[in-house]
Amino acid sequence: MHALGKVLRELNNYFKRFYMNHYETVFILNPVLSEEQIKETVKKYEDFLVSRGAKMIAKEDWGLKKLAYPIQHKKSGFYHLFEHAAENGDSINGLEVEFGRDERIMRNLTVSLDKHAISWAERRRARNNKKA
């Protein structure tokens, strides 16, 4: 039994090299920011993820959207989406701490994507590209 567990663990480690966990992060930026500040902020977090060993898969800019309820007395916000992949959650732990410290970020949400979510994200991207 012990030997079997060891073999399984080794197999798991072996296959881990070939796949990465996919994550999706959506964050809402303060609407009072200028266009340059927004670009700078998005760039900052993109660089942050890459520096922590994550791979950027897709970026989306949803633009200024109306919020369903006020957040920090604001009625709208700039929505941005990152899809990224990493071998472990280290990059995300750091990212969420940074988001929490940053006053420009009003909300953030990071979710891990399962296989159905990944295939849906791919189809969604293809559809959006076709539209654009």
Partner 1 sequence: MASIEQQAKGKKDGEIRYLTPLNIETSKAKKYCMFKKSGIRYVDYKDPDFLMRFINEQGKILPRRLTGTSLKYQRKVAVAVKRARHLALMPYVADLLK
Binding positions for partner 1, rule: CB under 8 A? 26, 28, 67-69, 71, 77, 79, 81, 107, 109, 111, 114, 116-117, 119-120, 124
- DSSP alpha helices (H): ranges in the chain? 2-16, 35-51, 90-101, 115-131
Q: What's the closest the beta carbon of residue 27 comes to partner 1, in angstroms? A: 9
> In the complex, what is the shortest distance from the CB of residue 129 to partner 1, in angstroms, rounded to a whole number?
16
Which sign does the torsion angle of CA 82, 88, 91, 93 carry?
positive
Nearer to partner 1, 33 or 71 (CB): 71
**Partners of 13 in the beta sheet?**
none
Closest approach, Cβ 111 to partner 1, in A, equals: 7
CB 44 within 8 A of CB 7: no
